[in-house]
Structure formats: C-alpha cells, structure tokens
Structure 1
Amino acid sequence: MKIAIIGAGAMGSRFGYMLQHSGNDVFLVDTWKEHVDTINKNGLLVEENSKLNSIKIPAFLPEEVVEIPELIILFTKSMGLKPMLKSINKIIGKNTQVLCLLNGLGHSETISEFVDIKNIFMGVTLWTSELIGPGHVKLTGSGNLEIQNLDPTMGVTAKKICQTLNDANLNAIYSKNVVLSIWKKACINGALNSTCTILDCNIEEFGQLKNSKKIITKIIQEFSQIASKYNIPLNIDEIVKNVEQTYDPNEAGEHFPSMHQDLIQNHRLTEIDYINGYISKKGKEFDIPTPYNNLLTILVHSKEELLIK
C-alpha cells in the first residue's frame, strides 16, 4: 500500500519505519526542513533496543509532495493540522483514506473540511517514541492502537486498514467506540504531558512523587465532567489506574511525553490548547469549574513564553 505519513516527528517516523519494514511504499511529509533534508541525505536513523539502523525512506516538505497515496496517516501537531491539510490538499485523492492519530480533542471537525466523511478514520494509539534530533528517532516500549470509521458504511475498509497496521506489528484493533478511547487517551495525556513538562521529569519520576495520585485524579475528574456533557462516560478510577501503569519503566516510565520533547527539549510550541486547554475552554462554556486544567494550561503557556523567543 502507498502510505503518506503526514507529520514525521517521533511517532510519524516510528510508524513510517514500521510500515515500510513490512513492505509498504511509504513516504514522509514534514515542515521541518533540516529533518527532511537529513532523512533524504542519510536515511532515517532508527535507534531500537540499543541498535542503530539507517533506513531509506523518501521525505518531503508539504509543498514538494505530488504523489497521491492510498492512505494518509496524520501525525501533525494539533495546532498545525489545518495548515498542513491546506498545504497537502492536492494529494488528497477522491478515494484517499485518511487516518487521524493525533493527540488531543476536536480534530474530526477540522479534517471534515478537507476530506469526505466516508474517507475519515479516527484512531488512538499508545505507542511511544522520541525524536532525538533531525533524522534520528528512538523507539521506546511497545504499544497498540485502535481505529474506527466515521461513516457507518466504511467498517470493512477500516478493518482492512487495521490489517495493514497489524502486518507491521502495530497491534491494531477495530474499535466499536473510538471516541470514548480518544477521550481516555486525552485523559492520560492531560495527566502526564503538562505535568511532566512543567516539572521537567519523565513519567516514572512523576509517578514517584507523593502527590502524583492526587494530581492526576483531580485532572481526570475535570475531564470526566466535560466528557459527560457529550454523553461520554469516563470511569475515573479505571483511568487513574491506566495512568499509574505507565509509571513502570517496562511500560512508558522512562519516556518523556511529547509535550516535554517539544517544549523542554526542543523549545517548540505545545499542544496544550487541545488537551488541558480544551477542558479549560469547555469548562468556561459549560460553567463547570476546571481549576487544575486552567492552571496547567496557563503554566505551560508561560513556560512557552520563557523558552521560545
């Protein structure tokens, strides 16, 4: 299958590598010119189990790409989704399927401005990865993902996409309620991304803090209150346990969340407005107090002011 990975950061590079390794025709698209140039010159340097491999995968800037793929997998940052879709609109064919695996909430509305609903597939993944530098990615831990079609008639196609992903050992399942799963993942991101970024720690270090359970419980309770307005039932105790499982170094404990990678390590803007900031915004709309998410959003934006000149 010809597959375009749109947003070739840590996760996009991991998926591109694994999908190409399983025999697909993959190309990467990213706005970071140094990253694109390095991949084209030296290959994508993949660090896995303390081994380094250089993998040849074509990489393009958005304005350079011309091939129409069968499948597009979106891994852009949330705030860059709409600009990216505008810039690659020419390669979104009539029958091109688009799978969104972005962190955060509210993306299907944006995608539907550019893609027919029958070709939109939403997903959520628990794979992790780290972008060490331009053209260099480190694969950490194991993971899985689930996807679902937005159009009820496209279930067979969604299952075929799952099979392609499974052939690449990406542990995909067909979901019966991916929206619920997206909210659960947003809770995990909301509990860990902003906190690890502000505290400058990895997931295991955060979990060792004496107040970690109190902090994540309060954050998740606020997510649950907003989700209930959309008739999405979130089991707070279950999600707290899911977050605590990630503290294990054999799971994601040694991982620095993507927000930490963006802001602390690379001084880039974060997706805070689509995670904790989304809850803060909806809290104001619904007149629901969300003090933890309000403060986390303000603190991350303040850290952006300090680090991004």
Structure 2
Amino acid sequence: MRIGVIGAGAMGCLFAGSLAEAEEDVFLIEVAQTQIETIRDRGLRLDTDCGSRVLHLPIGEAQMFSGPCDLLVVFTKSFHTRAAIRTAAPLLGSSGIAMTVQNGLGNAEAIAQVVPEDRIVVGMTTWPADIRASGHVVSHGSGEVRIWSMTRKPSDVVFKIARSLSCAGLNCIADPDVESAIWEKLAFNAALNSLCAASGLTVGSIGQSGTGRRLAGAIASETLAVARALSIKVNKDRVQKALDHAFLSHRDHKPRCFRTCSRDV
C-alpha cells in the first residue's frame, strides 16, 4: 500500500518506520521544519528492541506530495486533527482510507467532517514511543493495535490494514469492540498523563508511590464510570493490568505536555 503518516512525532515515526521496513510505500507529513530537515538530511533514527537503525523516508508538508494514496494514518495531537486531515485529504483521491489510532475522543468525528464515514477506520494502540531528539525515536517493550470501521460494519479493508500492520510487527487486531478499547486506553492515559504532568515525575516514580498508584486507579475508575454511563462495556481489571505493566516496564517514560493551541498541517 501507499501510506501517508500525518504527524512525525514519536508514534508517527514508529509506525512509518515499521511499515517502511515491511516494504510498504510510506511517506511522512509534518509541519515542524526542524523535524522535516533532520529526517530529510540525516534520516529517521529508530531504536527498538530489534536494535538501532536509520531509515530514509520522504517527509514534508502535505502539499509536497501527490495522490492518490491508499491510507492516511493520522497521528497528530487531537486538537490538530481537523486542520491536518483538511490539508491532507486530497491525497486520498476517491477511494483512500483515513485511519486514526490517536489518543482521546472525537478524532474520528473530526475526520468525518472531511472524509466519508465509510472510508474511516478508528482504533487505538498501546505501543510505547518517545522522541529522544529531533529525528530520533525510541520504543522499547511491546504493544498492539486494535481497529474497526467507523460505520461499525465489517469491512475487507479493515482486515487488509490489520494484516499490513501485523506484518510490520505492530500486532494489529481487527476488533468490532474497538470503542471499548479506546475508552480503556483513555482511562489509562487520563490516569498516568495527568499525574505525570502535575507532578513532573516519570511513570515509574508514580508507580513507586502507594499514593500515586491509588490516585491512578481512582482516575481510571472515574473515566470508566463515564464510559459505562454511555453504555460502553469496559473492563477495569484490564486497565489496572495495563497500569501495572506501565509502572514496571515503562518506568522512564514521562508523557509530554502540550499547549492546546491550533496549528495547521
């Protein structure tokens, strides 16, 4: 497939690099000039459990590329989603698919303002990734991706995308209950991101504190209560297991804080 990844942050680079190594035709869409220039001039350095390597991928602003492409994967922050897809949507042509596995809620709805719902795939991912420096992404540990059609109907294209991601080592599952997974990831992020942002501590430091663990559990439980009020089935034990895994395996990770300002892609 010809795949455009919108947002050359940690997750965007991890997915783009993994797909490129699986011999997919991948390009990165980005607006930050430092990141564009670094990856264009020096390549993308990707450090994972498989080792360290430098990958050379096309990168630039959306207008630098021409369509059509089969898939656009949106990896911007949620508050940039609408502007990002509006700028990049012409690359999809008449049949390309837009996919979001971003954190948070409302991303698919923002994409649907530009792309028909039957050409939108929604999902979530638990893969860890951090930016060590411009053009340098680190990902250690394991994760998975869960996706399904925004229309909630079975779709051959969803299974095709899942196979491509799995072949790239990203462990993707086509999951009709993806909405539950999205809310469980939201509960996980609400617990850890808020505490790390407020305290300035790493995930491991939060986990070493009994108070930190109790606060994380309480925040996650409150988020899950909202999901249940919306008649979405969620599993508290699964979220707690994810938190415990993060405390142990992602000890040095510190979620980044961003100002909620708008920026076009």
TM-score by length of 1: 0.80
Structure 1: runs of 5+ lacking an equivalent: 272-309
Matched residue count: 261
Q: Which moved more, 1:13-22 or 1:219-228?
A: 219-228
Paired position in structure 2 for 1:19: 19
The answer to whether the Cα contact below 8 Å between 1:92 and 1:115 also exists between their aligned partners in 2 is no
Report the Cα distance in structure 2 between the residues aligned to 1:212 and 1:240, rounded to whole angstroms. Answer: 13
1:30 aligned residue: 30
Q: Deviations over 1:110-158 (max 9, x none)?
A: 1111111111111110001111222111122211111111234442211
Contact 2:181 2:234 in 1 (8 A): no
Residue 253 in 1 paired to residue 243 in 2?
Answer: no
In structure 1, the residue matched to 2:95 is 95
1:228 offset after TM fit, Å?
2.4
Match of 2:115 in 1: 115
Where does 1:177-188 land on structure 2 (aligned, <5 Å)?
177-188=177-188
Superposed CA RMSD in Å reads 1.8
Amino acid at match of 1:61: E
For residues 55-134 of structure 1, the aligned pairs below 5 Å read 55-134=55-134
Q: Which moved more, 1:223-232 or 1:12-21?
A: 223-232
Contact 1:47 1:53 in 2 (8 A): yes
Give the superposition deviation at 1:51. 4.7
**Alpha-carbon distance in 2 for matches of 1:132, 1:63:** 28
C-alpha distance in 2 between matches for 1:221 and 1:164:
34
SS in 2 for 1:128: coil
Aligned to 1:40: 40
2:259 corresponds in structure 1 to: 269
CA contact (8 A) 2:203 2:251 kept: yes
Cα distance in 2, alignment partners of residues 175 and 50 from structure 1: 27
For residues 53 and 189 of structure 2, what CA distance do their matches in structure 1 show?
A: 30
**1:284 alignment partner in structure 2:** none
Length-normalised TM-score, structure 2: 0.92
User: How far off is 1:95 after superposition?
Assistant: 0.7
Q: Distance in 2 between matches of 1:168 and 1:238?
A: 25
Report the equivalent of 2:136.
Answer: 136
Distance 2:59 2:102 in 1: 20
SS of 1:115's partner is coil
Compare relative contact order (CA 8 Å, sep 6+) and give the higher one, 1 or 2: 2
Is residue 147–residue 158 contact of structure 1 (8 Å, CA) maintained in 2?
Answer: yes
Identity rate, percent: 28
Check the 8 A contact 1:128/1:140 in 2, yes or no: yes
Q: Secondary structure at the match of 2:113?
A: coil
Structure 2 matches for 1:273-288, cutoff 5 A? Answer: none
Structure 2: give runs of 5+ residues left out of the alignment.
none
| Contact map agreement 1:82 1:111 (CA 8 A) in 2 | yes
Amino acid paired to 1:62 = A
> How far has the Cα of 1:52 moved from its partner?
3.5
- Taking a change above 3 Å as real, the CA distance of residues 97 and 113 of structure 1, as seen in their structure-2 partners, is same
Distance 1:50 1:107, change over 3 A: closer
Query: What is the CA-CA distance between 1:27 and the residue it aligns to?
Result: 0.2
Contact 2:98-2:120 at 8 Å conserved across structures: yes
Is contact 1:216–1:240 with CA below 8 Å preserved after alignment?
no
Matching residue of 2:243: 243
Q: Distance in 1 between matches of 2:16 and 2:50?
A: 20
Aligned to 2:156: 156
Q: Structure 1, residues 187-220: CA drift from partner, whole Å, max 9, x if none?
A: 0000101211222222111101121232022212
